[in-house]
Amino acid sequence: MTAEDNEVDIAPQLGPALRRRRKAAGLTMKQLADVCGLSQPFLSQIENSRAMPSLFALHRVAQALDTTTVALLEPTHSAVTLVRQGEGERFVLADGATTLFLTPGDGHRLEANETTAAPGVAMSHAIVHDGQEMIRVLDGELTVHLEGEEPVVLEVGDTMSYPATTPHRWSSGELGARFLIVSSPPSF
């Protein structure tokens, strides 16, 4: 096995682990870049599994996150996950909207989340990230706003996919909405 083989195995795990630790520390990518002395674009490439830092650079990142290089490189055992009904980690997405993480752990190539929004909830600003995204409405009605496009109203059973590099946001209808969002690569 060559050094390049090890990079291929480690890089997909390092990006999500680094993102999770950075967010848990409450740091923006710019703040982390400032603390560890690396550029923000380079950290973005690492988090998106497009670059593998030198061991020295990784050590600086680990120190900035109050962890160790080994902890960042530890393989995760989340190839198979199970979230039973009523379980799972939830987080408040906006006033009146919560998201349930359906693919916990690191090392996934896609991310699935179920969001429940009260009537009339709207994302305050559009988001952009790498990859592809899909939305499927499970209950209620949802309007998807893609920059440069007319808003699209989705009803129960409707599914829409789009490049996540297009600025996008959503708003729930009069009855609220419950919907599934799947992104690849993971964006949270």
Nearest Cα to Cα of residue 111 among 62, 72, 164, 70: 164
Report the distance separating Cα 94 and Cα 86, nearest Å.
Answer: 21
**In this model, does residue 1 exceed pLDDT 50?**
no
**In this model, does residue 132 exceed pLDDT 90?**
yes
pLDDT of residue 11: 62
The separation between the first and the last C-alpha atoms of the chain, rounded to the nearest angstrom, is 32
pLDDT of residue 54: 79
The answer to whether 143 touches 153, Cβ cutoff 8 Å, is yes
5 band by pLDDT with thresholds 50, 70 and 90: very low
Homologous superfamily of 90-184 in CATH? Jelly Rolls (2.60.120.10)
35 band by pLDDT with thresholds 50, 70 and 90: very high
pLDDT averaged over every residue in the chain: 85
DSSP-derived letter for residue 86 is T
Q: In the chain, how many H helices and how many E strands?
A: 5, 7
Task: Give the residue-averaged pLDDT of 80-97.
Answer: 84
CATH fit for domain 3-73, picks 3.10.310.30, 3.40.630.30, 3.50.50.60, 1.10.260.40: 1.10.260.40
Q: Name residues whose C-beta falls within 8 Å of residue 25's C-beta, 6 or more positions apart in sequence.
A: 32, 65, 66
The answer to whether 88 touches 103, Cβ cutoff 8 Å, is no
The answer to whether 36 touches 28, Cβ cutoff 8 Å, is no
Look up tokens 């919907």; give the residue.
179
Q: What ranges do the domains of the chain cover? A: 3-73, 90-184
Report the distance separating Cα 165 and Cα 14, nearest Å.
Answer: 22
pLDDT of residue 3: 38
**In this model, does residue 144 exceed pLDDT 90?**
yes
Amino acid sitting at position 30: K
Q: In this predicted model, which residue has the larger pLDDT, 128 or 76? A: 128
Q: In this predicted model, which residue has the larger pLDDT, 47 or 120? A: 120
pLDDT in tens, 153-172: 999 999 999 999 999 999 99
